[in-house]
Structure 1
């Protein structure tokens, strides 16, 4: 059912307001927004998504989102501009009172009303009654992140291929996961110390004191990612240093996600994403996403870790907070770790609804990702 205009109620959960506008079978020519004072930034973000797609936007300020009479009057005023009833209400957003007041106004004029199911990505027609509409999966990562308040989203263009030497290195690391797990943290530290103009650092311990570390360094040198000169470790460029500092696991996870793209109906996937937000009156905030993907118009975050942490729970809490901040109520999260997590941390991950794939499970990462992505669908 394609109408000229849609009225939406701007809220902190923006995705149900976006997905109908990206579906060619539903997409209107114009979107009208009821915007309360605390939702002005969200409304601006929505405008930045709609306008480039040829959808005109008009805002109606709602000074008090709890003033049902004023909300109803505003909805009726809007309806009067469309005498043929060529406008639908998306009743998904706003406060409950905003939704009820707008719903009653549209019902009184027998105007179309729909609701977007938050989990099943389906448009449900409330009035008049008709068959549900499965929404097209067209939402991309950049739009999703901007809808949740990101002012800038940087996504490196990595293509879908990982260089053969890095793929071979990854297979060696996974095959020797029990031998290398402890020393990967030391390599991460060295790569971090090399964040200088020379991209180099000194290796404190020699081959006899740390044989497994030196074996690990030689694997990275064979892959062309570093050079060892005595005890001097150097990297050819920042990308190589990134790979040595755990980036190889991100790239491996990203590669598997691209391989699952068709089978798991992944709409968009990227790795090493940087987002910046500038909250009004506050210091700009920068966040990094190791691997992010959109499936069924939902954000899936994957954190990749190759070093041990004193408190695994800190990593889990950080991932949980990031998911809530930029993923919304339907966001999902997974931790992919080269090291195993203790029993307490595993219980905490379950409590936070964060999926885990760690240590030897990484050898079957593709199966774990497939099961996670398709769970409950």
Structure 2
């Protein structure tokens, strides 16, 4: 029988990766009172159940004295005496330092695998028993990553997949709008006028109603013939001498009022994900924590435009289009992005702000104050001129597009096949 011991801590990924590599039959999770209060072990088990093809039996063992090496030795001694003939693996990455030291001291002359997984570069674990390395090839999905921090998806998988299917179908239109941001913004401004005619002068409420109910377009003028043809074909609109008329359903209204940028960024990352070394590229997920009190039915939710996994860490993209008049300095969006990261409490999360809005720009670059704040938050800003270039490269089938995406999203340089 194969047995593994993991020390539960706030950061569950090193443990989770090693469990996938070791494939134990029985897994002991050592949990302190502090981690029990955070549901550390139960969250970890939920993450394991999501991804392991061979699901181990999990047993939680409480350690009351988290800073006592002696207490750790006593707990491990009781476990080991019951299964001394088993094949043991221990991961000493988590827990407190005394727990980690105690586990190492106890097992150093007893087992062949004492694993430590560094936070940076989690593709392999160092085996302290003999100085060798153990490959950690499993790729965590976003849902598994979030589960270990107590987060759930509040949007059903089938709804996410439907949204991704629509974005894939509209990708060519999204590319052309991203390559012609001025046209896209004029279209959005013209739509706002129509929204207010139908749903009232409060533009935020009018947009919301259009995204929920749809809208009948009357003489929406689009000068660019290719974009006009794509809009007509995609949404079943009539082209009357350069003007588009017809019923736009709610999903189409969402796309036209800014969703085109999300569809472009998601589509470009998905299309080249293999060459970029990223995976599980998702569009429009709603992660959050459930309330401890079921009676209140309160949820802590986030609406993530795009998220993906890279080097076993989570990355997410916030997309902004239009004038963003409510946030002239661009600070509000950055605060929102940082709040999401803090809520997770995970290490190595990176965020991006892809924006076609002029509020972050100064000349041909990003405003110094915004740039400095973004660096402090470990958030990379991808402004409109970079988005336009990327879209033009996609239209022209530029073979350097993968390297350009890698540069913008700070990924390891990739060479397209």
Tell me the TM-score normalised to structure 1 length: 0.83
Alignment of 1:174-323 (within 5 A): 174-178=178-182, 180-181=184-185, 184=188, 187=191, 189=204, 190-196=206-212, 198-200=213-215, 222=232, 224-225=234-235, 235-236=248-249, 238-281=250-293, 283-309=298-324, 310=327, 311-323=329-341
1:284-307 CA distance string (max 9 Å, x none): 211111111112211111111113
CA distance in 1, matches of 2:6, 2:351: 28
Structure 2 unmatched runs, 5+:
193-203, 362-366, 391-400
After the TM superposition, which of the residue ranges 352-361 and 149-158 deviates more from structure 2?
A: 149-158
Superimposed CA distance per residue, residues 87-141 of structure 1 (whole angstroms, 9 cap, x where no aligned partner) = 1221111122322222222236456311012111143334322321231032112
Which residue in 2 is equivalent to 1:129? 130
Aligned residues between the structures: 366
Q: Is the 8 A contact 2:173 2:231 kept in 1?
A: no
In structure 1, C-alpha distance between the alignment counterparts of 2:11 and 2:380, rounded to whole Å = 23
Give the CA deviation at 1:164. Answer: 7.9
Q: Secondary structure, in 3 states, of the residue corresponding to 1:28?
A: coil
Cα separation, partners in 2 of 1:168 and 1:268, compared to 1, 3 Å: closer
- CA deviations on 1:196-248 (whole Å, 9 max, x unpaired) are 5x434899xx98xxx889x9x978852544869x9999532x32232123222
Encode CA deviations 1:31-80: one digit per residue, 9 max, x unaligned: 11011233232211221233463211000012342343222211222222
> Aligned-pair distance for 1:195?
4.5
* RMSD over equivalenced CA pairs, Å: 3.6
Q: 1:353 to 1:219 in 2, by over 3 A?
A: farther
Secondary structure at the counterpart of residue 302 of structure 2: strand
Q: What's the offset of the Cα at 1:266?
A: 2.0
| Aligned-residue offset at 1:10 | 1.0
The 8 Å contact of residues 178 and 264 in structure 2, kept in 1 or not, is answered as: no
- Counterpart in 2 of 1:336? 354
Q: Provide closer, same or farther for how the CA distance between residues 245 and 200 of structure 1 changes in structure 2, counting only shifts above 3 A.
A: same
* Contact 1:69/1:101 (8 A) holds in 2: yes
- Separation in 2 of the partners of 1:232 and 1:33? 62
Does residue 147 in structure 1 map to residue 148 in structure 2? yes
